[in-house]
Amino acid sequence: MPAQIIEGKVIAKTLRTKIKKRVDFFKAKGIVPGLAVVLVGEDPASQIYVKNKAQACQECGIKSEVIKLPSTIQEKVLLTLMEKLNKRRDIHGILVQLPLPQHLSAEVIIEAINPAKDVDGLHPVNMGKLLAGNPALIPCTPYGCLKLIQSTGCAVSGKKAVVIGRSNLVGKPMAVLLLRENATVTACHSYTQDLVEITRSADILVVAVGKPGLITGEMIKSGALVLDVGMNRLPTGKLTGDVDFSSAAEIAGWITPVPGGVGPLTITMLLENTLEAAYEQEDILH
């Protein structure tokens, strides 16, 4: 039987409606949750991502401030900006759009963000808290993947979960989140041997690599839940994931499409994190 499609767009819309209601709750108290998005340089993809983030904020009533800076900006100027944003009471979340130009260290800039405002969840303090199992701001894409898994009603506890990709942005936090949910987790990467054998054992398979068609139907366990994080632009201009959707959908129990699967959740979880940061900073109980 073909897989059930996990409709990320629909799930994101439902979550955003709830977020908007919570934003209204803040506004009734005279507080507008605020997000600063810092964009360095002219990278076209980054410009689109930033525009989409600002638009999503607007739709939910969150104030967004996009700060556009030239690609030649010096690190110390950017660090001074971080200090200023850290101090501003009206800014609850700070996001620095990655990648940064080569002369800037993303690590240094991210570490300059107050962890309480680190809505991308990439600051070592938030990473450490996540690893330790303490409340943290969680990186948006894996957080969104978890929401998608939960939306299916499938159990995670005790299941075999395989995550392909081990970036700080997606793979590593995804593996930790699944571990936190009591899955038995295997993390795969470019040195992994016998990938097929491992993926075929997965009840839950999360693919975050950036290689179109890496995972085909024959690599998937019958009935598995498959999340395709990959976003690859083909020479034709078409957007595609890391999973060969048509063969995988014949075998999987659940699967996300690309586009319209994980992508819409990433921005939604950014809004969620901004709200979480606002609750903490304004000392408001949920």
> Which residues form the catalytic set?
53, 97, 120
Q: Is residue 121 close enough to count as binding ligand NAP by CB under 6 A?
A: no
Residue among 150, 190, 222, 246 that touches ligand NAP (CB under 6 A)? 190
Q: Which of 188, 202, 251, 270 binds ligand NAP (CB under 6 A)?
A: 188
From 34-42, 111-119, 155-163, 165-173, span contacting ligand NAP (CB under 6 A): 165-173
The verdict on 142 binding ligand NAP (CB under 6 A) reads no
**Residue 19 contacts residue 277 (beta carbons within 8 Å):** no
> Around Cβ 150, how many Cβ atoms within 10 Å?
12
SS3 202: coil
Q: Where are the alpha helices (DSSP H) in the chain?
A: 8-28, 44-60, 75-87, 106-111, 124-132, 140-152, 171-180, 195-199, 245-251, 263-282
Structure-block tokens of residue 181: 């949910």
Strand partners, 270: none
> Both tokens of residue 6?
């996990």
* Residue 186 contacts ligand NAP per CB under 6 A: no
Residue 14, amino acid? T
216 binds ligand NAP (CB under 6 A): no
Q: How far is the CB of 232 from ligand NAP (least distance, A)?
A: 5
The one segment of 10-18, 71-79, 87-95, 223-231 that binds ligand NAP by CB under 6 A: 223-231
Measured from the CB atom, the residue of 115 and 230 that comes closer to ligand NAP is 230
Does 210 bind ligand NAP (CB under 6 A)? Our answer is: yes
Please classify residue 275 by burial: count the beta carbons closer than 10 Å to its beta carbon, then call 0-12 exposed, 13-18 middle and 19+ buried: buried
Binding to ligand NAP by residue 141, rule CB under 6 A?
Answer: yes
Contact 193, 228 (CB under 8 A): no
Binding site for ligand NAP (CB under 6 A): 141, 164-167, 169-171, 188-192, 195, 208-211, 229-232, 262-263, 266
